Structure 1
Amino acid sequence: MNINFGLTANDYSKYRVEYPDKLLIKLQEWGVGNEGQLLLDLGTGTGFLARKFAEKGLEVTGVDTSAELLKEAKMLDKERGTNIKYVQSNAESLPLNGENFDIVTAAQCWHWFDSTKVLKETTRVLKKEGKLIIIHLDWLPISDNVVSKTEDLILSYNPKWSGNGGNGMYPDWLTQVSEAGYRNIETFTFDLDVNFTHDMWRGRIKASAGVGASTSLTDSNINKFDADLKNLLEKEFPESLTIPHRVFCLICTRPSS
């Protein structure tokens, strides 16, 4: 798929689900999130995760390829009073000094990367005993729920979309970090329900890789899709929506050599 999240930067900024406080509380068990730590957030987008850590007093750098998303991130920082340094770059070739960061995070983006190249870069920029953290927060399609029916509608417009049918679990990532020499590999997951109005769900879907960020769909296609989704919601899910989500988190330590 050809994806450009810059095409949907405004919807991305408004409607993507924020990472729950429970995630940061859990990460404290691994010594992640202490004031003064230096953190690099790969694929930062509009800074959803980076901002959470900056508000806790960490010194945060966010990296993303999209100028449009970084522009939104800076506006959100101004609204929230956070101070994050942003670098426009891909994650496979970081213009950053080596052994500089205590923590590298990659949230909602690892599947877009060339993992072999990115792992070499994270090893290079992490301090000794530094932590790499990979996070995903996924909606869950369950038989005939609003998620599964929304995914079916996306596929009717964009058959090349491959993001459907997920279960929020990523065992392949454990193999990737292990083969790259990372140590002390651990994971945790937890589920949560997120409430949406119809308009919020439509905005969230428009901000997704299968719709607004897909270069396969024209503006006309996207508008027709949105109208069909609006009709689907009004007909089959007339009340406010409760969408099941799953957080998956992998934590590991930089290779020893």
Structure 2
Amino acid sequence: MSRPDATTRFSSRVADYVRYRPGYPPALLEWLHRDIGVPRTARVADIGAGTGISTRIFLEAGHPVVAVEPNAPMRDAAKQWLGQDFPALQLVDGTAEATTLSDHSIDLVSAAQAFHWFDTAAVHREWARILRPGGMALVYWNSRLLEGSAFLVGYERLLIDYGTDYSEVAERYQSDQEMRDWFGTGLRGIASFPNVQYLDHESLRGRLLSSSYAPQAGHPRHAAMLDALRQLFDNHAVDGKVAFQYQTRAFIGTLT
């Protein structure tokens, strides 16, 4: 997949992304501060910040944050969502591989759901450049569970049946071993935390349409996909909601 495509493929999905994408569990930052020992004063560069979902958790914890995001509609959404509550937030037009940030200016690089789109060799060099001595990179994402309930199994089947390039995108997520290799001897910790969204039908629909591989209005599979989603929801909802479950996987270490 070309770099421009990876940057722009969410431009038409910003509203759904803001409203329906999951956040990250509080246990993630508890682990970061308590077990890893990252101080709350650490200056964070949130790379591929998108609409600010990952940015917000660091701002709320008191960190000064620079959010780096190449997609203008997503940057604008982050500014609108976070700007009033966190006026010190810096928003930067840059990529993971070319952040535009100064040498040795960052204590912690944060890269969340977008990491699988990056050129991992190039970002290793770039992040090592912007990190201060002893600074670390935190890479984490929500991995949707593919089984464990009839709903989760059915949702995966729906994506396979109707997604435009779902298999290609799904295969891009790195394994634990790939992340161990990427950090090498700098790896300092690996953790996994449960995370869940309880979604009514409208929210489930928005969650699906926030995904870059879900066909949008006008595509020949769009209407059939939404019909299948309605049936899936009706078959498995309890008290008007389904449990959309994840494991938040996290890796942290220095870059040498």
Tell me the secondary structure at the aligned position of residue 190 of structure 1.
Answer: strand
Given candidates 49, 60, 65, the residue that maps to 2:65 is 60
Q: Which residue of 2 aligns with 1:32?
A: 38
Kindly state the Cα deviation for residue 219 of structure 1 after the two structures are TM-superposed. 2.1
Q: Take 1:71 and 1:124, find their aligned partners in 2: how far apart are those partners?
A: 27
Kindly state the Cα deviation for residue 81 of structure 1 after the two structures are TM-superposed. 4.1
Identity %: 24
- Would you say 1:220 and 2:218 are equivalent positions? yes
Kindly state the Cα deviation for residue 243 of structure 1 after the two structures are TM-superposed. 2.3
Runs of 5+ consecutive residues of structure 2 not aligned to the other structure: none
Question: What TM-score results when the alignment is normalised by the length of structure 2?
Answer: 0.87
Q: 1:96 to 1:114 in 2, by over 3 A?
A: same
Q: Take 1:97 and 1:146, find their aligned partners in 2: how far apart are those partners?
A: 46
Q: 1:33 to 1:246 in 2, by over 3 A?
A: farther
Instruction: Supply the RMSD in Å over aligned alpha carbons.
Output: 2.3
- The answer to which of 114-123 and 227-236 deviates more is 227-236
Runs of 5+ consecutive residues of structure 1 not aligned to the other structure: 212-216
Residue identity opposite 2:232 in structure 1: L
Tell me the secondary structure at the aligned position of residue 219 of structure 1.
Answer: coil
Q: Take 2:203 and 2:122, find their aligned partners in 1: how far apart are those partners?
A: 36
- Would you say 1:187 and 2:190 are equivalent positions? yes
What does 1:225-240 correspond to in 2, within 5 Å? Answer: 225-237=225-237, 239-240=240-241
Residue identity opposite 1:61 in structure 2: V
Tell me the secondary structure at the aligned position of residue 50 of structure 2.
Answer: coil
- Would you say 1:204 and 2:204 are equivalent positions? no
Kindly state the Cα deviation for residue 51 of structure 1 after the two structures are TM-superposed. 1.4
Q: 1:15 to 1:83 in 2, by over 3 A?
A: farther
What does 1:81-96 correspond to in 2, within 5 Å? Answer: 81=86, 83-96=88-101
Tell me the secondary structure at the aligned position of residue 83 of structure 2.
Answer: helix
Q: Take 1:69 and 1:170, find their aligned partners in 2: how far apart are those partners?
A: 29
Q: Take 1:95 and 1:147, find their aligned partners in 2: how far apart are those partners?
A: 40
Q: Which residue of 2 aligns with 1:251?
A: 252
Given that residues 83 and 89 in structure 2 are in contact (C-alpha distance below 8 angstroms), is that contact kept between their aligned partners in structure 1? Answer: no
Tell me the secondary structure at the aligned position of residue 218 of structure 2.
Answer: helix
Kindly state the Cα deviation for residue 171 of structure 1 after the two structures are TM-superposed. 2.4
Given that residues 24 and 33 in structure 1 are in contact (C-alpha distance below 8 angstroms), is that contact kept between their aligned partners in structure 2? Answer: no
